[in-house]
Each structure stands twice: as structure tokens, then as C-alpha cells.
């Protein structure tokens, strides 16, 4: 009888540990994505229009994407 109690406790502890590890991993991944997205300079660029139809008049396909992080046409607003 005692072995079943220990086994159930061990299984419950393992499930709780896996859930905590999964949540921590998801938080770490979302933090990394947020840091990468915040490094996109488009909103501070002179060519950024803030119009949903044409976000950037120079590089419209890469505006507000990860491709725009190292944009050669970036020109800061005055």
C-alpha cells in the first residue's frame, strides 16, 4: 500500500515539474521574441508612413519584419 502512495506522489511531482519547466521555457522564448521585435527600427524611420496599406515607401515588403532590423535604407527622423 505504501508503494502506491510513493508512486502517485512521484508521478504528481514529475507532472508538476514538467508543467513548470514548460511554462518557464515558453516565457523565455516569448521574451527572446519580444526583444527581437523591439529591435526593429521602422517606427523611428523617416520613410515609415504608419499606414496599414503601405508601411514603408522604400522597402514595403520588409517593413516591420525581422528583415528590417539591418535595413540599409534606414534614416532616422529629425
For 5-45, the pLDDT digits (tens) are 999 999 999 999 999 999 999 999 999 999 999 999 999 99
Q: Indicate the pTM of the whole model.
A: 0.64
Check pLDDT > 80 for residue 1. no
Q: What pLDDT sits at residue 50? A: 85
User: What gap in Å lies between CA 67 and CA 62, rounded to an integer?
Assistant: 6
Q: How confident is the model at residue 77 (pLDDT cuts 50, 70, 90)?
A: confident
pLDDT of residue 7: 94
Residue 63, classified by CB atoms within 10 Å of its CB into exposed (0-12), middle (13-18) or buried (19+), is: buried
Report the DSSP beta bridge partners of residue 45.
76
Amino acid at each position: 500500500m505504501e508503494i502506491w502512495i510513493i508512486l502517485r506522489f512521484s508521478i504528481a511531482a514529475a507532472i508538476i515539474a514538467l508543467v513548470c519547466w514548460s511554462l518557464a521555457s515558453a516565457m523565455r522564448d516569448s521574451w527572446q521574441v519580444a526583444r527581437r521585435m523591439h529591435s526593429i527600427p521602422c517606427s523611428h524611420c523617416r520613410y515609415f508612413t504608419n499606414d496599414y496599406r503601405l508601411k514603408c515607401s522604400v522597402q514595403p515588403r520588409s517593413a516591420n519584419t525581422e528583415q528590417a532590423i539591418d535595413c540599409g535604407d534606414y534614416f532616422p527622423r529629425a
